[in-house]
């Protein structure tokens, strides 16, 4: 509504002028001379009238004018747009767009010079910036943001007041701020523009400030008076003497060093019989010997002499090395520095929030992957090496469901319980067939389940092949929740976090509020006593194993959504899951949560310290865990009582 | 009389439960002592503390003529100081022969290198045979310990204690699961051992304790309730209330 | 001492005798003697198998006798391989570089030589600098020392940390697995200084003996492996017999009891863990020159688990069991995965063993754990004891 009002107002203002000159040709005819041979000054009048006219055809005219496509027909003095195609010359009416042919002799070209064309360009921008079509205005603003040119500041600033669209107005204002910081006329104007930017975290603002602060390293005998110095470089601290000399050479302030390669080439080129300057070739197998031979050659004047150490040191000592801003005004660079520092502090703060979110989502994944393992380990003291393969089974279940149910939302809704059911079944089967027979032999259980793990992995490979299978997430999980330019988190990660939270609640509920949970806790704390109290430990073991495996299946679907589904995916999570359980402390949901959080945050933290190398990050993390176990062998949340004593 | 072991003011708490409560108890260099008390009185926990398995929250455990504190020491150090222990559940190395079990316990250097270079010698063999004779397992030296009867395993464990030649023997419920004849023999072994060292026996069976014929300490809720001859403590009203009354009910 | 020990353990003598006969027969039938019944590549396979048997008995001692299910001993094996591989690769590249530099108009400087070698070796990971850890690569003696020193020190430090804080059982297994994983991940990095996932290659070429045929080299390594296995067998048999064996088995069965007998259990575990690690390193140093290449994948946790599988299938707590298990499973495995086993046509489906071997191995491993906890060695016992 408001926009319509703006539009109406704009139209109303432009109306009288438009009424005075109905067509473009009319306006051009009133300024015939200026159009034909425009001067830097005189062109202003034409442009003003054109802009004021608000005619839609003025815009293409300006473009053509700038591109030197406007001609005057000598016979009647009318202006046309011209296109030449070989010998035929086509004229186009500027108002109607009708085409007609003409002979070349009858035409005089309008030839605006560089300055004029720039002025036309500015007017064009202004035109586009106040074009009634919002798409065009947006495009113009984007073009300015891309090129960031001094000439754009004026027109852009002028177009702000009349901008009807609030959002675009905001963008324009920001852009004017950035352009002002770069190009405003006076130092004060620039400084205040820069200061106004210091609250903005966006990348383009940081780019603008960095552009103002662009600097270069330089060397001179003495620091130039008018230079805006960022800082001085101290030889020995900021750069090595060798580097310093290299810079002198680059700046042509000192003779180049003779490299070892050059020495070698010079020697090879001057071999005389089996010696170089009398030095036998066979002895030239050390740098010192080669240098000696070269010096002899240099003494003969065959080759340029080497630059010796003292010359180098003296040359370096005789010069100043410094970093110099391209911007000469220190007031501006200082302001920019302060603004950038402020922004960077802010960005760092936001980055740590972002990192925290990343870590949280990683922790959720570890929690989901490990909680099933923790439950079975806690209750039965059994490490299930095939846990990772249950994760894989869950993920493949998701994949298979998607082959039959093309709707991604629906397929995920089906896949989650189905994955649970399948892995629950597999877990129960494994417990009945294998693990039950190996109680009190934990190490052998570990190995037997490992046997199952390799068999399952290979089976998956045989069935699904070695290539990664996609598990596509529903559309509403695409994209990310964006807080600002720095902080963002993808919806899938949010979903996994929610899933982990839901599972935490479900498991806590089962353990704390149900009969099954009571029995499970009893068996965890003292299996013998629990059995003598009439609890069917066999059944409890079976159910907990099924439950643990079922959760692994669900974790598999969740992990498959954001990572690839392969037959080896389980293996990549199993060690992390063990770590989570061991670090957290066995047999305790909170312990697993603590372990997952610690490992998730730690991994992200290490990755942040050493972003280029994720392998190193993982290595360090495992080393940390090994050390951690030294100090808390029972994990963060240690189970107490006789059960834990041995 | 100088004391071999002085336990004073020791307390242990498990998850807020005070298993040992300001316990003080002393043993002379040569004596036979019986400790009795209801289940959960803290008898085993007391042994855990002396042998270094459990670290007390407060209190002192002082050992020997030089008054060394045992609290900072590891289990193996304490064992090498001369404190031997028999567990409530018989624990012998079932996969090894009686001779190997005894040889392992025999008082010889305990370091890995010494053990690696260990050679069988005649005196050692005689010591093993001597211990075997005392526990009545002379004929079973080559048998695998796992094949022994329950009572024989108990004796083997006592034999391992003897082979260690400790100055203090802590014996936790040695007579549990034994036939009357076996008990009698066990009493003899213990009484014999107590002639040259301190022997502390934890036992429930009153007949067994009576036959030991020694000073008795009654433990209740982690501290000493009464101490003296068996007749003395069994006539104590509190002891009757908390222990005997229940046991005979 | 040694004589009486061997006299008391006739099984050790039997083992040595069988191994000796086997070695002689294989040597006589190899291509070296001209008989050629056994191909050079099969001699290599047999030699490698002997090395695997050696690391398997080390594993048996640490797990079967001492009760520590280490999932890190194949990592020590790999470290031994890397240590010797560094010398092999350096020395051979040096030879090649020297030959190519010999044609130059002036003799090369040491720096030029080292640069050229560095370029050859580290070109694949985009570097030419020699990392610190290659400082001794030019000396065979020092690298041989590394073969025992690096696994030994690593085991010592790791074991000291773990045993000191009384990490036992499943926890310890997971911790050793973590150590292995950390090592593998470290080696996978390009800037690990060991050529990242390219690993070290060309190890079958023995520097200075380019003229000797691979047939001869393979037989020499085969015999060396047999000697190492024999020595390792005798050494471990000596350790696990006698009083040391008693204590170690005691620790396996009831650690606390041994402690209350006055033994410092941690020292014993550390001793066993470290010695077996050193032997594993030696086995690796003999294995990889026969394999020709080593890369971080070899060290991955799974390899150490396979090692445990061999020992379990062969029979824990008896050294010959480990040998049987390692030889049997690894040879069978290469027969199946190498396409040696005939495929089975079920009509509707053809079972290709290259695909199905692991499934079979996995399930038979479960079966062995469930039904034959004493492994093949147990079967042996059964057969030997029955008639008497
Ligand atoms: N490690 C432990 N954790 C928790 N409670 C313990 C532990 N050790 C002993 N207790 C408790 O301390 C009390 C004393 O136990 P114990 O010394 O075994 O008694 P007893 O006199 O029957 O040998 C018991 O209630 C027991 O449950
Ligand atoms: Mg007790």
Judge whether B96 is closer than 8 Å to chain C, CB to CB. Answer: yes
Judge whether B15 is closer than 8 Å to chain A, CB to CB. Answer: yes
Residue with the bigger pLDDT between C151 and C350: it is C151
Cα separation, A509 vs A506, in Å, equals 5
pLDDT, position B246: 54
As for ligand 1, residues whose beta carbon falls within 6 Å of it are A 641-642, 645; B 14, 19, 37, 39-45
For the segment B199-238, what is each residue's pLDDT rounded down to a tens digit?
999 988 888 888 888 999 999 888 898 899 888 888 888 8
Chains A, B: CB contacts under 8 A, how many?
Answer: 4
The answer to whether the beta carbons of residues C57 and C236 sit under 8 Å apart is yes
Judge whether B55 is closer than 8 Å to chain A, CB to CB. Answer: no
Identify the band that residue A243 occupies on the pLDDT scale cut at 50, 70 and 90: confident
pLDDT, position A22: 66
Cα separation, A96 vs A23, in Å, equals 10
The answer to whether the beta carbons of residues B50 and B63 sit under 8 Å apart is no
pLDDT, position B113: 92
For the segment A277-297, what is each residue's pLDDT rounded down to a tens digit?
888 888 888 888 888 888 888
Domain residue spans of chain B: 3-248
Sign of CA dihedral A185, A191, A192, A198: positive
pLDDT, position A106: 81
Identify the band that residue A645 occupies on the pLDDT scale cut at 50, 70 and 90: very low
Residue with the bigger pLDDT between A302 and A547: it is A547
pLDDT surpasses 70 at B244: no
The answer to whether the beta carbons of residues C281 and C77 sit under 8 Å apart is yes
Cα separation, B119 vs B131, in Å, equals 19
pLDDT, position C132: 87
Mean of the per-residue pLDDT values of chain A:
83
Give which of C233, C377, C381 is closest to C315, Cα–Cα: C377
pLDDT, position C272: 97
Which ligand places an atom closest to the C-alpha of B173? 2
- Angle, vertex CA B99, rays to CA B95 and CA B100, nearest 5: 50
Judge whether B164 is closer than 8 Å to chain C, CB to CB. Answer: yes
Which residue blocks in A563-588 are alpha helix, DSSP H?
Answer: 569-584
pLDDT, position C388: 39
Q: Which residues of chain C are within 8 Å of residue A259 when distances are taken between CB atoms? A: none
pLDDT, position C83: 95
- Which of these ranges, A36-40, C154-158, C296-300, has the smallest mean pLDDT? A36-40
For the segment B148-161, what is each residue's pLDDT rounded down to a tens digit?
998 899 899 999 99
Residues C256-275 have a mean pLDDT of 95
Residues A565-583 have a mean pLDDT of 85
Q: How much distance in Å is there from the Cα of B42 to the middle of ligand 1?
A: 6
Q: How much distance in Å is there from the Cα of B243 to the middle of ligand 2?
A: 15
pLDDT, position A397: 95
Residues A123-139 have a mean pLDDT of 80
**Phi and psi torsions of A214, nearest 5°:** -60, 135
Q: What is the spatial order of strands in the sheet that A229-233 belongs to? A: A215-220, A320-325, A229-233
- Report the residue of chain B nearest A640, measured CA to CA: B15
Highest mean pLDDT among A153-157, A162-166, A182-186, A431-435: A431-435
Identify the band that residue C385 occupies on the pLDDT scale cut at 50, 70 and 90: low
> Over pLDDT 70: what percentage of chain B?
97
Residues A311-332 have a mean pLDDT of 87
Judge whether C250 is closer than 8 Å to chain B, CB to CB. Answer: yes
pLDDT, position A644: 37
pLDDT surpasses 60 at B249: no
**Phi and psi torsions of A634, nearest 5°:** -100, 10
> Over pLDDT 90: what percentage of chain A?
14
Which ligand places an atom closest to the C-alpha of B41? 1
Cα separation, A28 vs A81, in Å, equals 13
In which element (H, E) is residue A553 found? helix A537-562
pLDDT surpasses 80 at A80: yes
The answer to whether the beta carbons of residues C87 and C202 sit under 8 Å apart is no
Instruction: Tell me the DSSP string of B105-140.
Output: HSSS--SHHHHHT----HHHHHHHHHHHHHTT-GGG
What residue owns the CA closest to ligand 1's atom 12?
A: B19
pLDDT surpasses 80 at C140: yes
Cα separation, A460 vs A458, in Å, equals 5
Best to test chain B binding among C165, C246, C256, C266 (most B CBs inside 10 Å): C246
Work out the angle between the directed axes of helices C242-253 and C214-240 (0-180°, nearest 10): 80
Residues C236-246 have a mean pLDDT of 92
What residue owns the CA closest to ligand 1's atom 19?
A: B40
Identify the band that residue A160 occupies on the pLDDT scale cut at 50, 70 and 90: confident
Identify the band that residue C239 occupies on the pLDDT scale cut at 50, 70 and 90: very high
For the segment A396-417, what is each residue's pLDDT rounded down to a tens digit?
999 999 999 888 889 999 999 9
pLDDT, position C4: 64
Cα separation, C66 vs C88, in Å, equals 35
Residue with the bigger pLDDT between A258 and C156: it is C156
> What fold, for A353-640?
ABC transporter involved in vitamin B12 uptake, BtuC (1.10.3470)
Residue with the bigger pLDDT between A640 and A628: it is A628
CB contact under 8 A, C182 and A271: no
pLDDT, position A580: 87
Cα separation, A213 vs A343, in Å, equals 14
Cα separation, C9 vs C11, in Å, equals 5
Q: How much distance in Å is there from the Cα of B171 to the middle of ligand 1?
A: 17
Chains A, C: CB contacts under 8 A, how many?
Answer: 157
For the segment C93-124, what is each residue's pLDDT rounded down to a tens digit?
999 898 888 888 888 888 888 888 998 899 88
pLDDT, position C219: 94
Judge whether B75 is closer than 8 Å to chain A, CB to CB. Answer: no
> Over pLDDT 70: what percentage of chain C?
97
- Angle, vertex CA C66, rays to CA C63 and CA C68, nearest 5: 50
- Which of these ranges, A147-161, A302-316, B7-21, has the smallest mean pLDDT? A147-161
Which residue blocks in C103-241 are alpha helix, DSSP H?
Answer: 110-122, 140-164, 169-188, 214-240
Query: Residues within 5 Å of ion ligand 2 by Cβ?
Result: B 44
Cα separation, A370 vs A597, in Å, equals 12
pLDDT, position A639: 55
Identify the band that residue A643 occupies on the pLDDT scale cut at 50, 70 and 90: very low
Rg (CA), chain C: 22
Q: Looking at the partner chain, which of C167, C177, C365 has a beta carbon nearest the beta carbon of A633?
A: C167
pLDDT, position B62: 92
Q: Looking at the partner chain, which of B77, B93, B116 has a beta carbon nearest the beta carbon of C249?
A: B93
pLDDT, position A546: 93
Mean of the per-residue pLDDT values of chain C:
89
Rg (CA), chain B: 18
Q: Looking at the partner chain, which of C106, C360, C366 has a beta carbon nearest the beta carbon of A264?
A: C106
Q: Can you give the length of chain A in residues?
A: 646
pLDDT surpasses 60 at A53: yes
Q: How much distance in Å is there from the Cα of B17 to the middle of ligand 1?
A: 9
pLDDT surpasses 50 at A5: no
Rg (CA), chain A: 39
Cβ neighbors of A225 (< 8 A, separation 6 or more) are none
pLDDT, position A402: 92
Judge whether B109 is closer than 8 Å to chain A, CB to CB. Answer: no
pLDDT surpasses 70 at B54: yes
Highest mean pLDDT among A145-149, C175-179, C319-323: C319-323
Domain B3-248 in CATH 3.40.50.1370: no
For the segment A141-154, what is each residue's pLDDT rounded down to a tens digit?
888 888 787 777 88
The answer to whether the beta carbons of residues C316 and C60 sit under 8 Å apart is yes
Residues A509-530 have a mean pLDDT of 83
Q: Looking at the partner chain, which of B79, B93, B115 has a beta carbon nearest the beta carbon of C260?
A: B79
What is the SS3 assignment for A254-309? CCCCCCHHHHHHHHHHCCECCEECCEEHHHCCCHHHHHHHHHHHHHCCCCCCCCCH
- Please count the other Cβ atoms lying within 10 Å of the Cβ belonging to residue B211: 17
Mean of the per-residue pLDDT values of chain B:
89
């Amino acid at each position: 509504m408001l926009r319509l009002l703006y539009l109406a107002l704009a139209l109303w203002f432009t109306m009288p002028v438009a009424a005075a000159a109905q067509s473009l040709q009319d306006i051009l005819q009133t300024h015939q001379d200026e159009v034909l041979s425009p001067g830097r000054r005189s062109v202003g009048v034409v442009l003003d009238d054109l802009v004021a006219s608000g005619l839609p055809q003025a815009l293409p005219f300006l473009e053509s004018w700038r591109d030197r496509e406007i001609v005057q027909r000598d016979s009647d003095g009318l202006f046309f747009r011209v296109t030449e195609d070989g010998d035929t010359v086509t004229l186009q009416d500027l108002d109607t767009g009708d085409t007609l042919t003409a002979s070349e002799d009858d035409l005089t070209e309008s030839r605006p010079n560089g300055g004029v064309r720039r002025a036309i360009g500015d007017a064009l921008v202004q035109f586009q910036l106040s074009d009634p079509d919002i798409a065009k205005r947006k495009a113009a603003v984007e073009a300015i943001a891309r090129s960031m040119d001094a000439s754009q500041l004026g027109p852009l600033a002028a177009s702000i007041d009349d901008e009807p669209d609030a959002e675009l107005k905001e963008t324009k204002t920001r852009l004017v701020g950035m352009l002002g910081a770069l190009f405003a006329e006076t130092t004060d104007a620039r400084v205040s523009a820069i200061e106004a930017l210091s609250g903005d975290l966006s990348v383009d603002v940081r780019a603008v400030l960095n552009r103002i602060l662009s600097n270069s390293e330089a060397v001179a005998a003495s620091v130039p008076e008018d230079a805006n110095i960022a800082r001085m470089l101290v030889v020995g601290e900021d750069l090595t003497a060798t580097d310093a000399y290299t810079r002198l050479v680059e700046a042509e302030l000192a003779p180049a060093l003779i490299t070892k390669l050059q020495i070698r080439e010079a020697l090879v080129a001057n071999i005389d019989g089996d010696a170089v300057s009398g030095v036998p070739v066979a002895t030239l197998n050390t740098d010192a010997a080669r240098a000696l031979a070269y010096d002899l050659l240099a003494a003969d004047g065959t080759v340029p002499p080497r630059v010796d150490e003292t010359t180098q040191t003296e040359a370096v000592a005789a010069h100043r090395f410094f970093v110099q801003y391209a911007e000469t005004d220190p007031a501006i660079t200082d302001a920019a520095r302060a603004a950038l520092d402020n922004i960077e502090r802010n960005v760092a703060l936001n980055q740590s929030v972002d990192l925290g979110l990343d870590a949280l989502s990683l922790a959720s994944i570890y929690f989901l992957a490990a909680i099933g393992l923790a439950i079975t380990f806690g209750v039965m003291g059994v490490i299930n090496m095939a846990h990772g393969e249950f994760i894989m089974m869950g993920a493949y279940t998701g994949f298979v469901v998607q082959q039959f149910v093309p709707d991604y939302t629906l397929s995920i809704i089906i896949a989650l319980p189905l994955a649970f059911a399948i892995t629950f079944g597999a877990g129960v089967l494994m417990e009945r067939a294998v693990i039950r027979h190996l109680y009190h032999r934990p190490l052998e259980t570990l190995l037997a389940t490992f046997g199952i793990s390799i068999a399952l992995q290979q089976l998956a490979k045989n069935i699904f092949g070695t290539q990664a299978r996609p598990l596509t997430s529903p559309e509403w999980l695409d994209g990310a929740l964006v807080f600002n330019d720095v902080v963002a988190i993808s919806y899938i990660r949010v979903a996994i976090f929610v899933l982990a939270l839901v599972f935490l609640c479900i498991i806590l509920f089962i353990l704390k509020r149900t009969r099954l949970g009571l029995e499970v806790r009893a068996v965890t704390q003292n299996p013998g006593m629990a059995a003598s109290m009439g609890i069917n430990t066999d059944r409890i073991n079976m159910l907990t194993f099924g439950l643990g495996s079922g959760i692994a299946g669900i974790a598999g679907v969740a992990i498959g959504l954001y990572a690839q589904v392969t037959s080896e995916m389980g293996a990549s999570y199993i060690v992390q899951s063990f770590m989570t359980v061991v670090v957290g402390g066995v047999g305790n949901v909170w312990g697993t949560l603590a372990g997952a959080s610690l490992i998730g945050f730690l991994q992200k933290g290490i990755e942040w310290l050493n972003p280029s190398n994720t392998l190193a990050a993982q290595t360090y993390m495992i080393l940390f865990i090994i050390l951690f176990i030294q100090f808390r062998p029972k994990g963060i949340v240690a189970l107490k009582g006789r059960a834990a004593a041995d | 009389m100088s004391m071999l072991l002085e336990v004073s003011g020791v307390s242990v708490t498990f998850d807020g439960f005070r298993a040992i409560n300001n316990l003080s108890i002393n043993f002379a260099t040569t004596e036979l002592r019986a400790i009795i008390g209801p289940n959960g009185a803290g008898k085993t926990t007391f042994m855990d503390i002396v042998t270094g398995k459990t670290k007390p929250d407060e209190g002192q455990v002082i050992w020997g003529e030089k008054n060394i504190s045992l609290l900072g020491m590891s289990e193996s150090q304490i064992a090498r100081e001369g404190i031997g222990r028999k567990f409530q559940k018989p624990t012998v190395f079932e996969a090894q022969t009686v001779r190997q079990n005894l040889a392992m316990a025999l008082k010889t250097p305990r370091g890995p290198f010494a053990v690696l270079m260990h050679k069988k010698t005649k005196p050692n063999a005689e010591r093993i045979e001597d211990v075997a004779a005392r526990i009545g397992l002379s004929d079973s030296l080559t048998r695998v310990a796992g094949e022994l009867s329950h009572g024989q395993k108990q004796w083997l464990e006592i034999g391992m204690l003897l082979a260690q030649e400790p100055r203090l023997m802590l014996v936790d419920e040695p007579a549990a699961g034994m036939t009357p004849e076996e008990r009698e023999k066990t009493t003899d072994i213990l009484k014999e051992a107590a002639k040259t060292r301190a022997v502390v026996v934890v036992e429930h069976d009153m007949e067994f304790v009576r036959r030991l014929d020694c000073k008795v300490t009654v433990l209740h809720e982690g501290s000493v309730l009464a101490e003296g001859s068996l007749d003395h403590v069994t006539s104590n009203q509190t002891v009757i209330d908390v222990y005997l009354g229940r046991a005979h009910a | 001492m040694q004589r009486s020990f061997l006299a008391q353990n006739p099984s050790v003598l039997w083992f040595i005798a069988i191994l000796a006969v086997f070695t002689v027969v294989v040597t006589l039938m190899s291509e070296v003697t001209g008989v050629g019944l056994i191909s050079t590549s099969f001699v290599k396979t047999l030699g490698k198998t002997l090395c695997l048997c050696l690391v398997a008995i080390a594993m048996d001692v640490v797990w079967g006798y001492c009760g520590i299910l280490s999932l890190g001993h194949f990592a020590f094996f790999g470290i031994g391989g890397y240590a010797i591989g560094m010398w092999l690769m350096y020395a051979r590249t040096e030879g090649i570089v020297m030959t190519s530099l010999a044609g130059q108009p002036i003799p090369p400087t040491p720096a030029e030589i080292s640069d050229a070698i560095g370029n050859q070796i580290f070109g694949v990971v985009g570097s030419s600098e020699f990392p610190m850890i290659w400082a001794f690569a030019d000396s065979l003696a020092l690298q041989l020392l590394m073969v025992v020193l690096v696994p030994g020190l690593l085991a010592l430090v790791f074991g000291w940390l773990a045993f000191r804080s009384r990490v036992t059982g499943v926890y310890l297994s997971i911790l050793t697995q973590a150590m292995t994983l950390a090592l593998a991940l470290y080696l996978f990095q390009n800037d690990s200084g060991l050529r990242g996932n390219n690993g070290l290659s060309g190890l079958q070429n023995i520097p200075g003996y380019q003229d000797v045929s691979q047939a001869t080299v393979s037989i020499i390594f085969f015999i060396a492996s047999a000697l190492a296995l024999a020595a390792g067998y005798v050494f471990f048999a000596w350790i696990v017999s006698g009083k040391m064996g008693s204590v170690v088995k005691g620790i396996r069965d009831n650690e606390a009891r041994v402690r209350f007998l006055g033994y410092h259990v941690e020292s014993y575990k550390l001793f066993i863990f470290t010695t077996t690690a050193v032997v594993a390193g030696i086995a690796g140093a003999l294995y990889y020159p026969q394999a020709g290449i080593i890369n971080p994948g070899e060290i991955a946790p799974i390899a150490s688990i396979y090692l445990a599988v061999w020992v379990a299938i062969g029979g824990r707590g008896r050294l010959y069991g480990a040998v049987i298990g390692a030889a049997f499973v690894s040879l069978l495995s290469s027969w199946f995965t190498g396409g040696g086993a005939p495929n089975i046509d079920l009509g509707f489906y053809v079972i290709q063993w290259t695909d199905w071997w692991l499934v079979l191995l996995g399930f038979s491993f479960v079966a062995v754990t469930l039904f034959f906890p004493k492994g093949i060695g147990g079967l042996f016992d059964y057969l030997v004891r029955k008639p008497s």
